[in-house]
């Protein structure tokens, strides 16, 4: 008994010592945008050098630990936050014991569309389907018992929703709605004993669109519905007996022929519209990361689409005085809210330009491509103060960064940078500068300084920023950041490197070689 108590008392100091380990995080929390993927780091300060630590993510499906999972004493922990594809703000944490590092991520910009917005069905039972078009998560559900979702009740990204409906036992029309994401698909079902006829079953339109009308005759009440948003009604849409239903077909700005219907009871008018022959924008990406999202003043962008661009490739041209990139290249222009962009290159279906500094302070702008004097339909894009991204050696937004070593050699595994040396990182998306950026101007003295705060992370360690601003002799919008490689950075051929400008991170899959 006395021996057991002595052993217990002897163990108490060791037990107490184990319990005194505490940890502090710097920072203790961070807020990140919905897109693109974000990476970052935080430091851990332990109460003693022999304190063992294990980091655990509360949401490993979207918040992952990239390094520093285990360790002893002080250290750093790297993390990665996947893009938020939901319409809700979300919060996760990385914890060591009872200490938490909290990540709050903005809600995703979830846009939903449907392949059709309604269906007109007969009085008997049947089935149907429509497609949900989105990059986000969604669920589909009906508001009435006689209309049921039979497959595709939920999903992430594009997907099909299948539904079934019961026979309508009554003489009147009835309506049910399936909600998918933030869109609705309406099913209108005929009643028993109602006879309706329409004057025509087909109509054709050019890409420019136009107006039309269909005559309805019947012995009961009826309602006209449309299958697509680009068909709109301009007058009567319901009645009893005879009436005319006028409609309008919007211009088709896509490169595909399209089809839609106007349904009156069990009668369908099929509308066919020609494809557009105008230039078309299908996407705008960051010119360094090739990620979609918002633009910023001076951002180098790549625009994808159809029916524009030079063949063969045409690259930038300088003004007669040699001081500016021109705003037109091979009969191609890119405009944001009617302000022309300096052009970098033009090729069939793809062009690159620089977002004008005039977008500063705006929340959203309309982009247009003009080719041989003909303009595309406007393409809306959000504007942020900064949208940083690092150029890469493969020009695809990932892998080895476009970095020069201290001796001005290209950074590669065969020519790595030393810890404690200076590297030059080339990027875009720094936003407005001081003095203010001038569209298309080649950078000269005084060198424009990036206004937004700039941070550099190398292998999770914070690097000292020695210079941030315009790259001498290169076009405005291309930013150069000189940073001192931290002594704490790990060695390796593919050490993660990231910029944070104005609180926004560059893409997270870019590396530097360190020796």
Burial status of residue 298 (CB atoms within 10 A of its CB: 0-12, 13-18, 19 or more): buried
- Would you place residue 497 in the very low, low, confident or very high pLDDT band (cuts 50, 70, 90)? very high
Q: Where are the domains of the chain?
A: 21-105, 113-273, 280-382, 389-514
**Residue 26: other Cβ atoms inside 10 A:** 10
Distance of CA 234 to the CA centre of its chain: 35
Q: Would you say 426 and 402 are in contact if contact means Cβ atoms under 8 Å apart? A: yes
pLDDT in tens, 222-244: 889 999 999 999 999 999 889 99
- Would you place residue 10 in the very low, low, confident or very high pLDDT band (cuts 50, 70, 90)? very low
**Calpha distance 28→435 (Å, rounded):** 35
Q: Would you say 296 and 384 are in contact if contact means Cβ atoms under 8 Å apart? A: yes
**Calpha distance 251→472 (Å, rounded):** 46
Distances (CA, A) of 494 to 232, 486, 490: 55, 15, 10
Mean pLDDT across the chain = 91
Tokens 């990361």 -> residue: 289
Q: H or E stretch including 14?
A: helix 2-19
pLDDT in tens, 278-301: 999 999 999 999 998 899 999 999
Of 108-122, 313-327, 346-360, 471-485, the poorest mean pLDDT is in 108-122
% pLDDT > 70, the chain? 96
pLDDT in tens, 14-46: 333 345 899 999 999 998 888 777 888 888 999
User: Is the per-residue pLDDT at 182 higher than 90?
Assistant: no
Length in residues, the chain: 515
Of 185-194, 426-435, 458-467, the poorest mean pLDDT is in 185-194
User: Is the per-residue pLDDT at 157 higher than 60?
Assistant: yes
Q: Which of 446, 461, 450 is nearest to 492 (CA)?
A: 461
Architecture of domain 113-273: Sandwich (2.60)
Q: Phi/psi of residue 4, each to 5°?
A: -65, -40
pLDDT in tens, 318-336: 999 999 999 999 999 999 9
**Calpha distance 484→352 (Å, rounded):** 31
Sign of the torsion angle spanned by Cα atoms 432, 390, 287, 385: negative
**Calpha distance 284→296 (Å, rounded):** 12
- Mean pLDDT across 94-111: 88
Which of the following CATH numbers is that of domain 21-105: 2.60.40.10, 3.40.50.300, 2.40.40.20, 3.40.50.970?
2.60.40.10
The residues facing 247 across adjacent strands are 212, 233
Three-state DSSP at 449 gives: strand
- Would you place residue 145 in the very low, low, confident or very high pLDDT band (cuts 50, 70, 90)? very high
Q: Which of 350, 367, 508, 340 is nearest to 440 (CA)?
A: 340
**Calpha distance 373→311 (Å, rounded):** 17
Q: Which of 172, 187, 167 is nearest to 221 (CA)?
A: 172
pLDDT (0 to 100) of residue 4 = 35
CA dihedral (487, 489, 495, 496) in degrees, to 10, reads -120
User: Is the per-residue pLDDT at 59 higher than 70?
Assistant: yes
Contacts of 323 (CB under 8 A, 6+ apart): 441, 442
- Mean pLDDT across 437-453: 96
Distances (CA, A) of 251 to 245, 279, 280, 284, 337: 20, 13, 13, 22, 21
pLDDT (0 to 100) of residue 220 = 81
**Calpha distance 120→266 (Å, rounded):** 7
- Are domains 113-273 and 280-382 of this chain identical in fold? yes
**Calpha distance 328→341 (Å, rounded):** 8
Which of the following CATH numbers is that of domain 280-382: 1.10.8, 3.30.70, 2.60.40, 2.30.29?
2.60.40
pLDDT (0 to 100) of residue 265 = 82
**Calpha distance 55→40 (Å, rounded):** 15
pLDDT (0 to 100) of residue 106 = 84
Count the alpha carbons within 13 Å of 272 in the hemisphere toward its beta carbon. Answer: 4
Of 73-82, 266-275, 461-470, the poorest mean pLDDT is in 73-82
């Amino acid at each position: 008994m006395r021996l057991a108590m002595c052993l217990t008392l002897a163990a108490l100091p060791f037990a107490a010592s184990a319990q005194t380990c505490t940890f502090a995080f710097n920072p203790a929390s961070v807020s990140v945008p919905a897109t693109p993927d974000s990476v970052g780091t935080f430091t851990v300060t332990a109460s003693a050098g022999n304190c063992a630590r294990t980091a655990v993510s509360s949401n490993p499906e979207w918040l992952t630990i990239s390094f520093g999972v285990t360790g002893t004493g002080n250290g750093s922990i790297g993390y990665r936050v996947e893009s938020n594809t939901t319409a809700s703000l979300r919060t996760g944490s990385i914890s060591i014991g009872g200490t938490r590092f909290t990540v709050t991520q903005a809600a995703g910009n979830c846009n939903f569309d449907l392949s059709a917005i309604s269906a007109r069905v007969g009085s008997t039972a049947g089935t149907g389907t429509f497609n949900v078009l989105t990059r986000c998560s969604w669920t589909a559900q009906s508001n009435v018992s006689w209309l049921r979702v039979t497959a595709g009740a939920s999903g992430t990204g594009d997907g099909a929703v299948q539904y079934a409906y019961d026979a309508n036992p009554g003489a009147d029309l009835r309506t049910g709605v399936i909600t998918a994401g933030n869109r609705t698909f309406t099913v209108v079902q005929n009643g028993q004993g109602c006879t309706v006829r329409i004057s025509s079953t087909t109509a054709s339109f050019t890409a420019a669109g136009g107006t039309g009308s269909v005559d309805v005759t019947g012995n009961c009440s009826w309602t006209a519905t449309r299958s697509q948003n680009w068909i709109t009604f301009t007058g009567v849409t319901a009645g009893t007996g005879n009436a005319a239903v006028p409609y309008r077909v919007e211009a088709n700005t896509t490169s595909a022929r399209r089809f839609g219907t106007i349904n009156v009871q069990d009668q369908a008018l099929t509308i066919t519209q020609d494809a557009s022959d105008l230039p078309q924008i299908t996407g705008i990406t960051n010119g360094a990361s090739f990620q979609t999202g918002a633009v910023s003043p001076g951002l180098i962008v790549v625009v994808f689409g159809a029916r524009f661009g030079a063949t063969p490739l045409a690259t930038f041209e300088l003004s007669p005085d040699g001081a500016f990139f021109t705003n037109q290249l091979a009969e191609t222009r890119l405009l944001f809210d009617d302000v022309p962009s300096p052009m970098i290159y033009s090729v069939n279906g793809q062009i690159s330009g620089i977002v004008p500094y005039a977008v500063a302070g705006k929340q959203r702008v309309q982009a247009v491509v003009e080719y041989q004097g003909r303009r595309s339909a406007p393409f809306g894009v959000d504007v942020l103060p900064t949208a940083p991204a690092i150029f890469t050696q493969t020009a695809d937004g990932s892998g080895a960064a476009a970095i020069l070593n201290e001796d001005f050699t290209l950074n590669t595994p065969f020519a790595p940078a030393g810890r404690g040396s200076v590297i030059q990182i080339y990027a875009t998306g720094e936003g407005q500068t001081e003095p203010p950026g001038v569209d298309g101007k080649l950078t000269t003295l005084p060198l424009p300084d990036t206004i937004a705060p700039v941070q550099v992370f190398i292998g999770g360690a914070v690097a000292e920023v020695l210079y941030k601003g315009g790259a001498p002799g290169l076009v405005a919008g291309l930013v150069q950041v000189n940073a001192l490689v931290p002594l704490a950075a790990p060695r390796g051929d593919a050490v993660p490197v990231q910029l944070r400008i104005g609180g926004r991170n560059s893409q997270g899959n870019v590396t530097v070689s360190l020796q």
